[in-house]
């Protein structure tokens, strides 16, 4: 699915770039556009392409699996729709200020460029410096919400109808209903039965509210306190973790060494993990792959894989763009990390997350799809994670409880 997301982004950026070639790069004029859908769409597309500084509070409501509400305070320098240039590279900072989503608790922070960082306020862990840490679920959620509207505001991909005028917070807007064309559906850019509505601010030509729905999921976001004129400094785009935070250097190389036996893994890692006495039918009773991964400064992770080659079903979390790829191996993976702190989980917002217990210890159950699930807990000073591909949460529970 990650490949699909990259294709999706490439298609959208190409359409926007073609539009940009025929329009000036300067910001669009502020006078209210003519009251017809085509002119409003053109003005909105130009405004999104010309946007290079953006501050706003974005309130989102997600429906479908893992649904809920989340509010983000975001700063953006550069463009999320126009190609980057050496002089104009994307910089982003987002902070969760309100949330009912377990995957994005209040206080979560993501910074993209030049030093990337993800901060998990629950575990008080910050990962910084790694290439791609900007791919946090917070950033993916914001990016996905903006790219959806950018896609549906492309005349080659969707048809627009003017549905009237509405007041959205402090903004006077045009209301557009947006229907994908067959070309967009054929390219798998949007879900089945997709439809959208965009509210375009008359003063800036930018969307300040957007609703997307398909047969499975939906998102509505509303922007307030929008500022597209104030310069955003480098200092504003940084984050200093609070005292007591475990800071992990994501740029530090992780060493993974394959070993032949659990005993060898235990000797190399410096501890002996619990092992499963139950595995779903069809899986080998002994680990098919054993490895020790060193993650500075956290320590050593013992990784045990019990799998067979099979095409496992894929999950497609929405609206974050960082979708999970199906594994080529159907099976169960067990990870054990001995230490005082675990890595940030960064679950997809579409995940259904439930508090539970394993061996009487507090645990977290994460359902990604019907056949992909995760359980994680701490026991005896060791963090355990049991992950499935091709098996449901009930089977993962049996495996977790069987560890001894």
Please, what is the end-to-end C-alpha distance for the chain in angstroms?
35
Q: Which is more confident, 126 or 323?
A: 126
Spatial separation of the C-alpha atoms in residues 150 and 286, rounded to whole Å:
50
Spatial separation of the C-alpha atoms in residues 338 and 75, rounded to whole Å:
37
pLDDT attached to residue 209: 97
Reported as type and span, the H/E element at residue 184 is helix 182-186
Average pLDDT (376-401) is 91
Average pLDDT (115-137) is 75
Please give the C-alpha separations between residue 260 and each of 139, 241, 264, 291, 304, in angstroms, as whole numbers.
Answer: 39, 40, 7, 8, 11
pLDDT attached to residue 220: 95
pLDDT digits (tens, 9 = 90+) for 341-386: 555 566 676 677 788 899 998 888 888 888 888 998 888 888 899 9
Q: What are phi and psi of 46, to 5 degrees?
A: -65, -40
Does the pTM of the predicted model rise above 0.75? no
287 in Cβ contact with 304 (< 8 Å): yes
User: What is the per-residue DSSP string for 51-88?
Assistant: --EEEEEEEEEEESTT-EEEEEEEEEES-SSSPPBTTB
Average pLDDT (259-278) is 93
pLDDT attached to residue 312: 39
Average pLDDT (253-280) is 89
Q: What are phi and psi of 195, to 5 degrees?
A: -155, 155
| pLDDT for residue 5 is more than 50 | no
pLDDT attached to residue 135: 54
Residue 268, helix vs strand vs coil:
helix
Q: Which is more confident, 375 or 65?
A: 375
pLDDT digits (tens, 9 = 90+) for 19-54: 444 444 445 555 544 579 999 999 999 999 888 899
Q: Which domains does the chain have, with CATH numbers?
A: 2-237 (2.50.20.10), 253-402 (no CATH)
State the chain's mean pLDDT as an integer.
80
Please give the C-alpha separations between residue 134 and each of 51, 156, 303, 347, in angstroms, as whole numbers.
Answer: 20, 30, 25, 14
Reported as type and span, the H/E element at residue 127 is strand 125-128
Residue 271 pLDDT grade (very low, low, confident, very high; cuts 50, 70, 90): very high
pLDDT attached to residue 14: 36
pLDDT attached to residue 114: 76
């Amino acid at each position: 699915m990650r490949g699909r997301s990259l294709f999706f982004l490439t298609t959208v950026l190409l359409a926007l770039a073609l539009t940009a070639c025929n329009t000036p790069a300067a910001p669009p004029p502020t006078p209210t556009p003519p009251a017809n859908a085509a002119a409003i769409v053109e003005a909105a597309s130009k405004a999104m392409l010309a946007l290079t500084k953006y501050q706003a509070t974005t309130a989102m409501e997600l429906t479908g699996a893992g649904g809920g509400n989340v509010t983000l305070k975001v700063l953006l320098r550069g463009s999320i729709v126009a190609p980057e240039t050496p002089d104009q590279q994307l910089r982003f900072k987002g902070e969760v200020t309100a949330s009912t989503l377990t995957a994005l608790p209040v206080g979560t922070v993501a910074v993209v460029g030049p030093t990337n960082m993800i901060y998990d306020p629950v575990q008080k862990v910050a990962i910084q410096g790694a290439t791609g840490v900007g791919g946090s679920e917070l950033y993916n959620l914001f990016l996905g919400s903006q790219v959806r509207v950018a896609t549906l505001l492309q005349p080659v991909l969707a048809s627009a109808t003017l549905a009237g005028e509405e007041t959205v917070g402090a903004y006077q807007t045009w209301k557009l209903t947006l229907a994908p064309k067959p070309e967009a559906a054929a390219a798998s850019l949007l879900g089945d039965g997709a439809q959208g509505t965009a509210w375009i601010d008359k003063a800036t030509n930018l969307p300040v509210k957007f609703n997307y729905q398909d047969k499975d999921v939906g998102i509505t976001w509303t922007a307030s306190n929008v500022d597209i004129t104030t310069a955003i400094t480098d200092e504003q785009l940084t984050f200093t973790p609070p005292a007591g935070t475990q800071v992990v250097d994501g740029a530090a190389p992780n060493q993974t060494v394959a070993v032949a036996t659990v005993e060898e893994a235990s000797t190399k890692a410096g501890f002996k993990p619990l092992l499963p006495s139950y595995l779903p039918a069809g899986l080998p009773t002994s680990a098919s792959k054993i490895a020790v991964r060193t993650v500075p400064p956290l320590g050593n992770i013992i990784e045990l894989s019990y799998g067979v080659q099979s095409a496992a079903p894929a999950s497609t979390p929405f609206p974050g763009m960082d979708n999970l790829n199906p594994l080529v191996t159907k099976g169960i993976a067990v990870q054990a990390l001995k230490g005082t702190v675990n890595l940030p989980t960064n679950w997809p917002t579409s995940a259904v997350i439930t508090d539970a217990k394993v061996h009487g210890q507090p645990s977290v159950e994460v359902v990604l799809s019907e056949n992909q699930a995760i359980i994680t807990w701490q026991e005896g000073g060791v963090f355990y994670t049991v992950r499935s591909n091709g098996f449901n949460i009930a089977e993962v529970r049996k495996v977790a409880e069987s560890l001894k």
